[in-house]
Amino acid sequence: MESIEIKIARDYSFSPGPRYIDEGKNSGEEFRKEVLYPKFKDAIDTNNKIIVDLDGTDGYGTSFLEEAFGGLIRINRLSYEKILELLTIITEEEDYLKDDVYEYLKDAHEESIK
């Protein structure tokens, strides 16, 4: 199985912004729509892994990450199990962000099955 890599600092923005597009530049919503979701569709279609590298930015607001990743389930209706099967989050700068992303996915999944 091959992998598709997204390095947010290179492929999206050095300065990730707010949650929604209408709140400002480089939002989590825009990242999900323009980068993350299309790459996930490709990964699902080609049965590839997807690696998201969080390093190299000037930081993340929780709303950016929650909207980007939780939105894959809430908005794009991707399967939680499929996301977990394909997704690898990497970071050497802020290790806790990895746990945060997986928690946002879990929360969105739990909310979707209520």
- pLDDT of the chain along its 114 residues, tens only? 799 999 999 999 999 999 999 999 999 999 999 999 999 999 999 999 999 999 999 999 999 999 999 999 999 999 999 999 999 999 999 999 999 999 999 999 999 998
Cβ 68 vs Cβ 12: under 8 Å: no
Q: Would you say 32 and 39 are in contact if contact means Cβ atoms under 8 Å apart?
A: no
Q: Cα(68)–Cα(23) distance, rounded to whole angstroms? A: 14
Question: What is the value of pTM for the model shown?
Answer: 0.96
CB atoms within 10 A of CB 11: 15
pLDDT at 96: 97
Tell me, rounded to whole angstroms, the distance of Cα 47 from its chain centroid: 18
Q: What is the residue extent of each domain of the chain?
A: 3-112
